Amino acid sequence: MNAQLAAHVDQVWANDILGPLQEYITIPNVSAAYEERWAELGHMDRAVELIASWCAARRIAGMTIEVQRLAGRSPLIVIEIPAFGNTPSRSSTPDTVLLYGHLDKQPEMTGWSDGLAPWTPVMRGDRLYGRGGADDGYAAFASLTAIEAVQAAGGSHARCMVLIEASEESGSPDLPAHLDALGERLAGTSLVLCLDSGCLDYERLWVTTSLRGLVGGVLRVEILTEGVHSGLASGVVPSTFRILRMLLDRIEDSTTGSVLLPEFHVDIPTQRVREAAAAAAVVEPFASTLPFVPGAAPMTTDPVDQLLAHTWRPAVSVVGADGMPPTGRAGNVLRPETALRLSVRIPPTCDHDRATAALAAALTTDVPYGARVTFDADHVAPAWHAPATAPWLAASLERASMAAFGRPACAFGEGGTIPFMGMLGDRFPDAQFVITGVLGPGSNAHGPNEFLHLPTARRVTEVLAHVLVDHADGARTT
């Protein structure tokens, strides 16, 4: 069956996916957190229609597809596929495989190279450039292709539910309401397949064992009711920027980058340290894949420590600012207020609610000079830590990686966040998870020059097909 699965995946990727995926890249369907007019503009609906129409045309037995719409929420594509082949049910609730992806996108970002742009698909060799192709537009195409390949090869798979959401880049605020609306349709979920993660190289299957969470929000400092000539007021009125520096010093050591709040730290499991060492032994140091300017250095040069810092340690980033005019238009004015958008990554097993409360208290209690300080935590997402891998799944992933990549699979912790995984972990504590993806060295999701490495996308699709077959068998024997 291996050859049949591979041949079908090859055929669909070569003939059916590339064109629609390129069209998808042209749609500027920026996620709601970054575009208040997303519903009015209609770009999200265009992307939903494109992907839903492609999925509906696949030759998959018994498939039903709908776009679930809730008032005030982004849409959710819901695809239900009954069990196929030799998959006898073990109970009144059939085993269900949940396949997940998203289609909303990050904003454009500046710095795209000559000839590249966020909404212009460009092929260079085996890379497809453009916003959203790798994060995460390819996921719907790959998921349906894997299911179709199993059926075309005469294999078996359990009942499948495919969910493609449209608010992931905003922290999945709409997903809980959609899950409630689905009711018991996700009952029996025993395996979750997610394609929204990364890989440390393009040579093998990389399985994500943990994801950092996120506490994101806007920290605002106000000191005056209006701007004042800096020659008049400086030295008397404290700068809002300096007050922000003082507040940030409460939560981060500016010399080392260490987060100072104990609520953000966890013990790193021994197994994850071993996995980081194994991963570091087969790839170049993680920092070597990042676009440092000449002469710049990472915070740590130890390859294993880089991987652990990437996942198991918290980090503070300032990702945006308000109240600061561009340098070419900055007059000599003491500004009345400054606001910073903070993105604080939290490690797996960290309590995100407790961490958020601690952060807000540190930033807004006993503030300098009696300034008006607020912190609006508007983008909070839980971290995720994989349960122990079942023997059948460990063996399946190894076989699948050898079949698709010709190399054994590796595990690693990812530094990004997929809010849905934390939600699913709470709802289905006994489910198995396969979190993988194509965001490898240089792919630069969220930044300029994002690309999808097409050979890896094809191979990951083949891996999914193998795991679906093995799950149908493993679910009967474990």
Q: Name the nearest CA neighbour of 121 among 134, 108, 133, 107.
A: 133
Q: Which residues of 424-462 are buried (b: 16+ CB within 10 A; e: fewer)?
A: bbeebeebbbbbbbbbbbebbbeebbbbbbbebbbbbbb
- Distance CA(379)–CA(361), nearest Å, equals 17
pLDDT at 475: 56
pLDDT at 86: 84
Domains annotated for the chain, with CATH where assigned, are 2-211+383-477 (3.40.630.10), 213-277+302-381 (3.30.70.360)
pLDDT at 478: 46
Question: pLDDT digit string (tens) for 164-201?
Answer: 999 999 989 999 999 999 999 999 999 999 999 999 99
pLDDT at 67 over 80: yes
**Arithmetic mean of pLDDT, 384-389:** 95
- Distance CA(149)–CA(152), nearest Å, equals 5
Instruction: Specify the range with the lowest mean pLDDT, choosing from 20-29, 104-113, 220-229, 413-422.
Output: 413-422
Question: pLDDT digit string (tens) for 268-290?
Answer: 999 999 999 999 999 999 999 99
Upper half-sphere CA count for residue 95 (Cβ side, 13 Å): 26
At a CB cut-off of 8 Å and minimum separation 6, what does 58 contact? 144, 145, 148
pLDDT classification of 49: cutoffs 50, 70, 90: very high
- Distance CA(227)–CA(239), nearest Å, equals 11
pLDDT at 426: 86
pLDDT at 92 over 70: no
Q: Name the nearest CA neighbour of 170 among 259, 77, 73.
A: 73
pLDDT at 90 over 70: no
- Distance CA(420)–CA(177), nearest Å, equals 12
